[in-house]
């Protein structure tokens, strides 16, 4: 029965995450390219041995490739035996966040410290995301003073449980509500939101400070 299923979508996701072709995945997993393409585009899950070889080839876990643990936070397993914490320079931090994705905005909200996830892009030297007019970020990130913006924290990370490593980047800077006469400057970022709905307000965070850490084994 043709039709991309959950298992196939996960193969495709991890293959694109690593920047691999189907042939490269097949070579890593010691199977034919046609079989990898079949698994990626058809319903069903193969035998445990095949799943294990694909998980190793795609640098992930069998549980993740099968879709297990979807409702738990990442990183519950033990870390590396001798972890090394590496300080990242500004250039490496920018390289890591350049593709965009999902990050977290931290700010002082009306009910206290608040952290919210957003889809973002890095565009013209700034973080750009969209939200709804009248929503919590619209109201809580306004000072009421022209030309005065609220300082926020913006954090992005990536956890690789299979390799027991990961990285985190923190950007600190003012959150600027983009007025209508400047919207054309940020629409080129191509920001979309998983949350959907009318999210016509663009907010731009100009980095004043960028720090990052990477953790890995020896």
Q: Provide the pLDDT for residue 55.
A: 92
Q: Which tokens sit at 56? A: 């190793």
pTM, full prediction: 0.74
Among the listed residues 118, 161, 120, 115, the one whose alpha carbon sits nearest the alpha carbon of residue 140 = 115
Q: Is the pLDDT of residue 158 over 70?
A: yes
pLDDT tens digits, 181-204: 888 888 878 888 888 888 889 999
pLDDT tens digits, 117-145: 999 999 989 999 999 988 888 889 888 77
Which 8-state DSSP code applies to residue 83?
-
Mean pLDDT over 56-75 rounds to: 78
* Domains (range + CATH), the chain: 6-66 (1.10.260.40), 84-216 (2.30.110.10)
Q: What is the dihedral of CA 8, 9, 11, 15, to 10 degrees?
A: 140
CA 98/CA 92 separation, integer angstroms: 10
Question: pLDDT grade, residue 1 (50/70/90)?
Answer: very low
Beta-carbon contacts of 208 under 8 Å, excluding residues fewer than 6 positions away, are 151, 172, 173, 174
**Phi and psi of 134, rounded to 5°?**
85, -5
Bridge partners, residue 168, by sequence: 157, 213
Half-sphere exposure of 119 (CA within 13 A, CB side): 12
Beta-carbon contacts of 28 under 8 Å, excluding residues fewer than 6 positions away, are 20, 56, 57, 58
Q: Provide the pLDDT for residue 185.
A: 81
Beta-carbon contacts of 209 under 8 Å, excluding residues fewer than 6 positions away, are 171, 172, 173
Mean pLDDT over 23-33 rounds to: 95
Among the listed residues 91, 86, 90, 92, the one whose alpha carbon sits nearest the alpha carbon of residue 215 = 86
Half-sphere exposure of 20 (CA within 13 A, CB side): 22
Half-sphere exposure of 140 (CA within 13 A, CB side): 19
Q: Is the pLDDT of residue 5 over 70?
A: no
């Amino acid at each position: 029965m043709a039709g991309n299923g959950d298992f196939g979508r996960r193969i495709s996701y991890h293959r694109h995450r690593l920047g691999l072709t189907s042939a490269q995945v097949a070579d890593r997993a010691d199977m034919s390219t046609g079989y990898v393409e079949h698994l990626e585009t058809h319903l069903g899950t193969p035998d445990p041995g095949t799943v294990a070889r694909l998980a190793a080839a795609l640098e992930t876990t069998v549980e993740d490739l099968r879709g297990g643990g979807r409702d738990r936070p990442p990183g519950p397993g033990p870390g590396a035996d001798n972890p090394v914490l590496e300080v990242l320079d500004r250039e490496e931090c920018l390289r890591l966040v350049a593709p965009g994705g999902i990050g977290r905005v931290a700010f002082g909200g009306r009910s206290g410290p608040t952290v919210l996830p957003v889809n973002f892009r890095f565009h013209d030297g700034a973080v750009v995301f969209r939200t709804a007019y009248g929503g919590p970020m619209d109201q809580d990130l306004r000072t009421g003073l022209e030309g005065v913006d609220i300082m926020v924290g913006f954090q992005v990370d990536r956890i690789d449980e299979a390799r027991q490593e990961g990285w985190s980047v923190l950007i600190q800077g003012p959150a600027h509500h983009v007025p209508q006469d400047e919207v054309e400057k940020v629409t080129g970022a191509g920001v979309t939101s998983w949350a959907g709905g009318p999210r016509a307000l663009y907010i731009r965070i100009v980095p004043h400070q960028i720090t990052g850490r990477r953790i890995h084994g020896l």
